[in-house]
Amino acid sequence: MDILPVNFKVLWFCGAWKERKEENIVLAFLHSCYRYAVLLLIYQFTIFEVIEVIRMRNRISEVTEGLFMMSTFITLCLKYANFLLRRDELSALLECLRVKMCQPRNHTERLIIEAHSRKDTTLYRRVLFANIVL
């Protein structure tokens, strides 16, 4: 992926994105199974979190923690479903960004893009590491 490579690598890992169609029907089937397994796990965890909030409704501290987790996972479910439903539109948008007009015109512009790309990747990795540590 030439545009936002780290972001699309994360989406690929979650099963929501693949750059090209698989020629091998077995690999395509396995990718579909993986995508729906991730989707099922996310939705299942969200449903169990809703049940947990309902079950713990008399203890305010557990309800507060549960509501935070529940709202986070409900948002994740909606974003994941929205992304899966609009994946073709995103592919069309990415193709529009690959036209000659949106590409660097000379060596200076390429250097600027490479410098910002390295900064973005480094910043992304630092934020990801900080979130993992916390």
- Predicted local distance difference test score (pLDDT) of residue 45: 92
Region for 25 from its dihedrals, namely left if φ exceeds 0, alpha if ψ lies in -120 to 50, beta otherwise: alpha
Tens of pLDDT, residue by residue over 19-31, are 777 788 898 898 8
Tens of pLDDT, residue by residue over 40-93, are 999 999 999 999 999 988 888 888 888 988 999 999 899 888 988 898 898 888
Strands annotated E in the chain: none
- Nearest partner of 38 among 4, 84, 86, judged by Cα: 84
Amino acid at site 64: T
101 or 52, higher pLDDT: 52
- Predicted local distance difference test score (pLDDT) of residue 35: 87
In the chain, the largest separation of any two C-alpha atoms, in whole Å, equals 65
- pTM comes to 0.65
Domain residue limits, the chain: 5-103, 106-133
